[in-house]
Structure 1
């Protein structure tokens, strides 16, 4: 693929158009974070020059590749038949970009996302991430691309059965998952995050986990709170996706019909529970420990954002942006502490 010439007038929108030329994954089966990170950088205050520099560095370092060639058109009548087939990425993206143009962002999400939610582990939650960033900007092209990405990488996991939940505490779900002997025997095909998720989902005794959490009006806040505690305790790559994922489901939820929002929370937390072996069977810290960390000296968001803008690590930028956005909603200073720690600004 020919490189685009650098210009001094590249805008975020220009770069997003350019990045859609590439596949949503790059070898071997890694999520292409570039479109989402460009948005995060822009919102953190990066200059247009920094956006272009980041684009070029990410593209070249990761060896981004074009979409696979089209196979056959996807139709509205049979669109689910190729879910999870990465060879159909371009077909799915073409279909959903047309659907979003036809009926609009919210109607497309309400029509198709309830079917996709049980496969939320798609590309290790990054189909959901791209959807969240698309709706954050109400960008029809990005939402269509994201729904196509989610479809082509759909990850089959155990389905909810409607069995009675066992707790309304997301932390208790993780604690119970840590006690499952089957998760001590998980052997993923590779160390890819979504391979770890899939390997856990294939264990028969993991299947009930998806029904464990009682969903209520306060579940979104409790998921965010537990994800923050988990990341603060571990500073782990996998638990980072719990914190950022809580942000993403908060972004997507209002665009779904109210009846479909609990499934988004339920299946998201199933994925986080599947990762407890990868995280190291963690224990959540006490309220006292969390409060101690919460009051550690930490720089303000402008300094943290400036450090993230200079980083070439997509997970630094993703974490800092999501943590800043979540603190603005929930008011918990611990978000600032963990972001500063991630950026090496405090120990």
Structure 2
């Protein structure tokens, strides 16, 4: 990794845009611009990418504020996208007052079960705020999380318990209604909301007992799922676990957030098409696929206009540094078209 450039004007402008663009799709720009910066893109390329993204997605500016929120009133705006500016202002001020670490520790645990909002992209924004050391972005992420809050049900009273995250995934294959609900084409969070609302889902999602090794197991399972399918929804399993791992050190106890994220990942199994999970032998074959070095993958990602090429590449790189699995490099190279 090369020395980081300072944030350019495009990043500053991106911070002023709305969290979402029509229709209720996540605005990736602030996070992708940070990922490009981390991967060594020039400020000129970052500016060009941002201009093209805003134009193609019709990203609007943030709507005007409706009224000031404070420590006693912000909860009344949970899940209200119309209060985006008010929530952003409140949490940005709190991040400045408490510091990014203090703001995350104080506010995120209370909102943890709302992680499904905007298809977990508030988690993405928070992670990239941490990666970039940007206090304002932590405030924006908390405001985004609050404005799009979508509850994930977890019933921890289920008598059948498991320590294996894959049991939750495979449980969706036989969950009544999971194979017949109406799949929403555009919005992942509509799929998440529909499957999370099925009878029995809360008990299934709440049956997972965390142990210290569970985050690693989840990362391995998410990578296997994506490597097998190269599916857009499965991509968010890999990236989402990177984002949660990134913010975990800023929480007193990050473990309760993992079952929430895993429930969200499990809820996308019907949209992915109930894929056959790969065997250990099949994964090893994929793992042995020759792939270019990371600088070449970074260059291809940063040359792409697809925000998910950039997001997946940087997350895969960061996850490989922690977990050591070369399959991350293979799927990143495949995602950006360097290998087949």
> What TM-score results when the alignment is normalised by the length of structure 1?
0.93
Q: CA RMSD in A?
A: 1.5
Spell out the pairing of 1:108-187 with structure 2 (5 A cutoff). 108-164=103-159, 166-187=161-182
Segments of structure 2 that go 5 or more residues without pairing to the other structure are none
Deviation at 1:329, TM superposition (A): 1.0
Q: What is residue 89 of structure 1 aligned with on the other side?
A: 84
Pick closer, same or farther for the CA change 1:20–1:239 going to 2, 3 Å.
Answer: same
Contact 1:99 1:144 in 2 (8 A): yes
Contact 2:91 2:142 in 1 (8 A): yes
Instruction: Give the alignment partner of residue 336 of structure 2, picking from 328, 343, 346.
Output: 343
Instruction: Give the alignment partner of residue 14 of structure 2, picking from 13, 16, 19.
Output: 19
Instruction: Give the alignment partner of residue 249 of structure 1, picking from 239, 244, 247.
Output: 244
Contact 1:182 1:205 in 2 (8 A): no
Q: Does 1:214 align with 2:214?
A: no
Contact 1:243 1:323 in 2 (8 A): yes
Q: What is residue 331 of structure 1 aligned with on the other side?
A: 324
Q: Does 1:322 align with 2:330?
A: no
CA distance in 1, matches of 2:216, 2:132: 23
- CA offset digits 1:34-78 (Å, max 9, x no partner): 011001111111111111111111111111101122122222113
Deviation at 1:189, TM superposition (A): 5.6
CA distance in 1, matches of 2:161, 2:8: 46
Between 1:300-309 and 1:143-152, the stretch displaced more is: 300-309
Deviation at 1:188, TM superposition (A): 4.8
Q: Tell me the number of residue pairs that the alignment of Structure 1 and Structure 2 aligns.
A: 336
Deviation at 1:272, TM superposition (A): 0.3
- CA offset digits 1:11-38 (Å, max 9, x no partner): 5253322112110100110100001100
Contact 1:159 1:210 in 2 (8 A): yes
CA distance in 1, matches of 2:128, 2:208: 26
Contact 1:164 1:211 in 2 (8 A): no
CA distance in 1, matches of 2:86, 2:159: 39
CA distance in 2, matches of 1:199, 1:306: 38
Deviation at 1:105, TM superposition (A): 1.1
CA distance in 2, matches of 1:257, 1:164: 28
Deviation at 1:209, TM superposition (A): 2.4
CA distance in 1, matches of 2:207, 2:91: 33
Instruction: Give the alignment partner of residue 69 of structure 1, picking from 40, 64, 71.
Output: 64
Q: What is residue 49 of structure 2 aligned with on the other side?
A: 54
CA distance in 2, matches of 1:114, 1:164: 25
Instruction: Give the alignment partner of residue 300 of structure 2, picking from 288, 307, 310.
Output: 307
Q: Does 1:45 align with 2:40?
A: yes
CA distance in 2, matches of 1:94, 1:161: 35
Deviation at 1:161, TM superposition (A): 3.4
CA distance in 2, matches of 1:322, 1:316: 10
CA distance in 2, matches of 1:68, 1:141: 18
Contact 1:165 1:211 in 2 (8 A): no
CA distance in 2, matches of 1:212, 1:135: 31
Q: What is residue 197 of structure 2 aligned with on the other side?
A: 202
Deviation at 1:168, TM superposition (A): 1.6
CA distance in 2, matches of 1:151, 1:235: 31
Contact 1:171 1:284 in 2 (8 A): no
- CA offset digits 1:137-171 (Å, max 9, x no partner): 22110000010001000012213435456222222
CA distance in 2, matches of 1:281, 1:248: 25
